Amino acid sequence: MMLIRSLAVLLVSAVVATPALAQDRRVPSSPAELRMSYAPIVQRVQPAVVNVYAAKTVQNRNPLLDDPIFRRFFGVPGQQPEQMQRSLGSGVMVDASGLVVTNNHVIEGADQVKVSLADKREYEAEIVLKDSRTDLAVLRLKDTKEKFPTLDFANSDELLVGDVVLAIGNPFGVGQTVTHGIISALARTQVGITDYQFFIQTDAAINPGNSGGALVDMTGKLAGINTAIFSRSGGSQGIGFAIPANMVRVVVASAKSGGKAVKRPWLGARLQAVTPEIAETLGLKLPIGALVANVAPNSPASRAGLKLSDLIVAIDGQAIDDPNAFDYRFATRPLGGTAQIDVQRAGRTVKLTVALETAPDTNRDEIVLTARSPFQGAKVANISPAVADELHLDGSTEGVVVTDLADDGTAANVGFQKGDIILAVNNEKIAKTSDLDKASKTSARVWRIVLVRGGQQINVTLGG
């Protein structure tokens, strides 16, 4: 007991002495201390950060001009005026041959993409790969054989809250700009920006135009790609989000291998978040983990022995707080190997080994519907395991699903959404994309459509 009391006295003395230490101030002892700066890191990193300019041609579309009677009556020409839309962002050189990674939303729909280097040289660029699920895209500079400066990837799993970081990009188009701050939070999963919600949050000033730019650590390595801000005014309010470098690495690797799509491991199970009510039912102290809601037959999850109502709590020793965290951790695992998943089952921990393999993508038969109908402008595909995984559908789902919509298409205007499953058109069952293509080319005054959205069947009637 005397030892405990003596230790307590020492602790109290240390606390009392702390304010004096906190108030200690020291005059810099040399000119070198006055010049302490991030400049050496910036000078090394800045040449690898680029500006990205994208442009696309759009028509000023007036729906009345689609009616030939209206055009003939009022003498309005059928050709509608065109307008050039431009977007501005940033990018990072990740391969000396001229490979640049940026945000997909910066170049989405672009007819022309240009990249401007830090030294003001400008190059045309081609889009090598687009990945809407991560909001990342990879570009390649055209007509060049020189070696460009690049950034190496940091291991973003080693980042800590409080680490100092620099954000480099082209905010508001004013030119390349550097801001600094700290990592405010890690593993932000409720942001709602991409499919893989697992973001680095930083208070380094990020503004419009910074999208696609670099977030670098104090070793000059790429910690993440700046992608979004939380703002009520349109400017930085100290809450910015970056895609972690480990996810960027996966997308860049797919581009380097010549793939047109990112190859990721496929689990073959649908997961749901653990609510406080579910936690109470399961006897959990905290509502954390990813609950298995569905397991697709013949999937890696099924072969590993994952079962309905299993609670996934870790992957390869890394704790899992929610389904978004699992999706990110699983998606960044290298293909070809295995991952160990820890699940809680009936009050005990079970370790399962899951093969890391891609989802089968046979018979996708993806097409864009162009005939004059409510489906005009919709891209549709047969539901394969790969399509189901991309759109977060149950692995057992079959049929035809909307995978994308043209902004100026009829399908988008009448309210179709990505992920809609088309079951029937005018009482004709739709089993494959060729069925829907045929149905869309028929002449009909009224369109009766049966679809599934969010698990709910909807009957829609549209005028022809």
Residues annotated catalytic, as ranges = 105, 135, 211
Q: Which long-range contacts (CB under 8 A, 24 or more apart) does 450-455 make?
A: 450/422, 450/423, 450/424, 450/425, 451/420, 451/421, 451/422, 451/423, 452/420, 452/421, 452/423, 453/417, 453/419, 453/420, 453/421, 454/419
Taking the CA atoms of residue 271, residue 272, residue 276 and residue 278 in that order, the dihedral angle to the nearest 10 degrees is -70
- Furthest-apart CA atoms within the chain: distance in Å: 103
Q: Give CA–CA dist 101/457, Å, rounded.
A: 40
**φ, ψ dihedrals at 283, nearest 5°:** 75, 30
Q: Give CA–CA dist 243/224, Å, rounded.
A: 5
The three-state secondary structure class of 31 is: helix
Contact (CB, 8 A) for 451 and 460: yes
Q: Give CA–CA dist 289/341, Å, rounded.
A: 12
Instruction: Locate 215 and state its tokens.
Output: 């977030």
Residue carrying structure tokens 């899951």: 354
Helix axes 245-256, 323-331, angle to 10 degrees: 40
Q: How far apart are the first and last CA of the chain?
A: 89
Q: Which DSSP string do the residues of 70-100 spell out, in sequence order?
A: HHHHHT--SSPPEEEEEEEEEEEEEETTTEE
